[in-house]
Each structure stands twice: as structure tokens, then as C-alpha cells.
């Protein structure tokens, strides 16, 4: 109930306010997702990329699958999601982060999945791109071009673009079955990601290296795996899904823009990754594009709602 005398649009704004504890929970999720890139880098110091990814999705499936019912989703869709996210997104991301790109930049570049998601949705549904989306894409593309102009050839965002494209493909698959429990979706899709990642690890990294790395991994390496499986996957998706079930998506989703902020900040503070001017310029451009793409529809809805309201009575 809005306080007496509040105009209707203020009452609507009050209904979308997030309680402080809910806001702290959302902040905790994006902090976990952002700092996760630093954790990945730490794990990769002891575990080969594909082995690390295989461990992540193995522990994401077990033991959680013993307590979570399989969502009412056809097996082919679970398989497609598992392969796109597990192999296409994180398999490629781990390989790129092994030697090619810093955690801070990785946390920024993979967020371009938002634009790949738009492109794939347009291709499938035949929707036309809107002007604000073109502007948002232009800003993000300018940021990536600026980034590529200031990095060496071996530190290429191309691999991460593939990871972002796979993430977008996973989003499209998930969107085809709306209303499902995303935590259960991720857990049961992991049963398709883990075996493929183990096979790829054995072929590309070799049984000897895989075995030696598992034996030699210390507590820190296993903590990184646990952070990936329990913190990033189980806690992140469960808490985010809980928040989305209680608040409008337009209120919660923009908070994900803080992921690269946490990613770049944690990489600078913990790993000493330098934040040169060119890197900050690239970050501002990409984040501006993401913000425009995320926030513009909500602003349009708010403007339409305000325009349709009757004028206040003249006293």
C-alpha cells in the first residue's frame, strides 16, 4: 500500500523496490559470478582446462541430482543446453583463460552473449532488430574493437566470442521451455556436459596429464572446483531464480551488469591485473551497450505507463 497522497506512478515505483535483504542476496550472486573468473584462473594453475570443466559439471550433477527432481523438459533440450553451456561456453572459456586472456577481460567479453542471444532470437522468430538494440550493439562492438586494437594477437577475444555464442544458444534453448526451475535445469543438463568434457580432456590433454593433475591437486584447486559447482552454479542459479520469482525481471536482470565490474575489480585487487586507460574505455563502451540493451525496454514501459495515467485532480 502506497502512502496516502502518493501519485500513482510513485506507487508503482514503490512496488518494484527490492527489500534490503533481497538486494544483498542479488549483490551476493553477482559478486560470486564476477569473482568466479579469478577463481577459474586459480584453478587453472593446477588443473588442465577441460579437466577442470569436467570436474565442475560432474560435481554440479552429483549429488544435487539426488535431491532435485528432473524438470519437465525433453531430454534433447537438456542435452542441447548441457553441451552448449558445458562444452561450448565453459570448455572454451577455460581454455581461453588458461593462457590467452585475463580474468577481468574475460568477465567483460563473455557478457556480449546478450547480443548473440538477440541475434539468434531474431533468426528463429523473425523479429526485427530495434533502433535501441542497434545503438547498444554499436557501443559494445566499439568497445570490443578498442579492446582488440590494444591486445596482442594471442590474447584474442575471438575464442570468448565463441563461448558467448554458445551461452546465447543455451539461453535460446532454455527460453523454449519457460517457467521451469533453472537450478534443476542446470543440474540435469550437466549429465550431458560432464561425459563429453571428460572424453575431450582425455583426448586433448591426455590420460597421463589428467591423472597427474587430479592426484597433485591441493586443497586450493578442489576449493576452486567446489566454488564453480556449489557457489557459482547451485547457489547462483537457485538464488537468482528465487529473486526472479518474487520480483519483476526488469528489476532484477539489470543487476547482472555488475558481473564484469566485480570481475575486473577482483582481478585487479587479487591478481594485480592492471587497469590501463584503454581497458577502462573498452569496459565503459561494452557496459554502456549492455546497459542500454537491458534498461531501455523497462524505461519504455515506464514512459508508456506514465503517459496512459489520467492527470492528477486539480484541487
Residue 305 lies in a domain: no
Backbone angles phi, psi at 71, to 5 degrees: -65, 155
Residue with cell 585475463: 102
Residue 12 lies in a domain: no
Residue with cell 525481471: 249
Backbone angles phi, psi at 263, to 5 degrees: -65, -50
Q: How many domains does the chain have?
A: 1
Query: What average pLDDT does the segment 178-193 reach?
Result: 87
**Residue 263: C-alpha distances to residues 152, 156, 195, 220, 240 (Å):** 21, 18, 29, 19, 18
Residue 267 lies in a domain: yes
Task: Answer whether residue 73 shows pLDDT above 60.
Answer: yes
Instruction: List, in order, residues 6 or more apart from 194 with CB less than 8 Å away.
Output: 54, 57, 58, 60, 61, 86
Q: Residue 248: count other Cβ atoms within 10 Å of its Cβ.
A: 12
pLDDT in tens, 222-260: 999 999 888 888 888 888 878 877 777 666 767 777 888
What span, in angstroms and rounded, lies between the C-alpha atoms of 89 and 83? 9
Residue 7 grid coordinates: 501519485
Answer yes or no: are the C-beta atoms of 85 and 189 closer than 8 Å.
Answer: yes
**Among 286, 297, 40, 259, which Cα is nearest to 142's?**
286
Under the banding of pLDDT at 50, 70 and 90, the label for residue 4 is very low
Instruction: List, in order, residues 6 or more apart from 255 with CB less than 8 Å away.
Output: 26, 27, 30
Residue 30 lies in a domain: yes
pLDDT in tens, 114-143: 777 777 777 776 767 778 878 888 888 788
- Backbone region of residue 113 per phi and psi (left: phi > 0; alpha: psi in -120 to 50; beta: other values): alpha
The domain in which residue 231 lies consists of 25-295
Backbone angles phi, psi at 304, to 5 degrees: -65, -40
DSSP state of 142: H
Residue 7 lies in a domain: no
Under the banding of pLDDT at 50, 70 and 90, the label for residue 151 is low
- Of 10-19, 49-58, 169-178, 248-257, highest mean pLDDT: 49-58
Residue 14 lies in a domain: no
Residue 51 lies in a domain: yes
Residue 214 lies in a domain: yes
Amino acid at each position: 500500500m502506497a502512502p496516502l497522497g502518493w501519485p500513482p506512478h510513485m506507487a508503482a515505483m514503490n512496488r518494484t523496490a527490492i527489500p534490503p535483504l533481497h538486494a544483498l542476496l542479488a549483490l551476493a550472486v553477482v559478486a560470486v559470478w564476477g569473482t568466479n573468473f579469478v577463481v577459474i584462473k586459480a584453478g587453472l594453475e593446477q588443473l588442465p582446462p577441460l579437466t577442470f570443466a569436467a570436474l565442475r559439471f560432474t560435481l554440479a550433477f552429483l549429488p544435487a541430482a539426488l535431491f532435485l527432481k528432473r524438470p519437465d523438459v525433453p531430454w534433447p533440450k537438456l542435452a542441447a543446453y548441457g553441451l552448449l553451456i558445458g562444452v561450448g561456453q565453459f570448455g572454451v572459456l577455460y581454455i581461453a583463460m588458461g593462457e590467452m586472456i585475463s580474468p577481468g577481460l574475460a568477465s567483460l567479453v563473455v557478457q556480449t552473449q546478450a547480443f548473440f542471444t538477440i541475434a539468434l532470437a531474431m533468426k528463429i522468430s523473425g523479429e526485427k532488430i530495434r533502433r535501441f538494440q542497434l545503438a547498444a550493439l554499436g557501443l559494445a562492438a566499439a568497445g570490443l574493437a578498442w579492446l582488440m586494437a590494444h591486445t596482442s594477437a594471442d590474447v584474442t577475444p575471438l575464442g570468448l566470442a565463441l563461448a558467448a555464442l554458445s551461452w546465447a544458444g543455451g539461453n535460446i534453448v532454455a527460453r523454449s521451455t519457460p517457467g521451469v526451475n533453472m537450478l534443476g535445469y542446470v543440474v540435469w543438463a550437466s549429465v550431458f556436459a560432464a561425459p563429453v568434457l571428460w572424453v575431450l580432456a582425455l583426448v586433448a590433454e591426455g590420460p597421463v596429464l589428467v591423472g597427474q593433475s587430479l592426484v597433485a591437486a591441493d586443497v586450493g584447486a578442489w576449493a576452486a572446483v567446489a566454488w564453480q559447482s556449489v557457489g557459482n552454479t547451485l547457489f547462483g542459479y537457485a538464488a537468482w531464480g528465487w529473486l526472479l520469482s518474487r520480483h519483476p525481471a526488469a528489476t532484477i536482470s539489470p543487476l547482472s551488469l555488475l558481473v564484469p565490474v566485480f570481475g575486473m575489480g577482483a582481478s585487479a585487487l587479487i591478481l594485480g591485473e592492471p587497469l590501463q586507460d584503454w581497458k577502462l574505455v573498452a569496459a565503459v563502451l561494452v557496459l554502456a551497450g549492455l546497459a542500454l540493451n537491458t534498461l531501455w525496454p523497462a524505461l519504455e514501459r515506464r514512459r508508456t505507463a506514465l503517459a496512459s495515467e489520467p492527470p492528477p485532480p486539480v484541487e
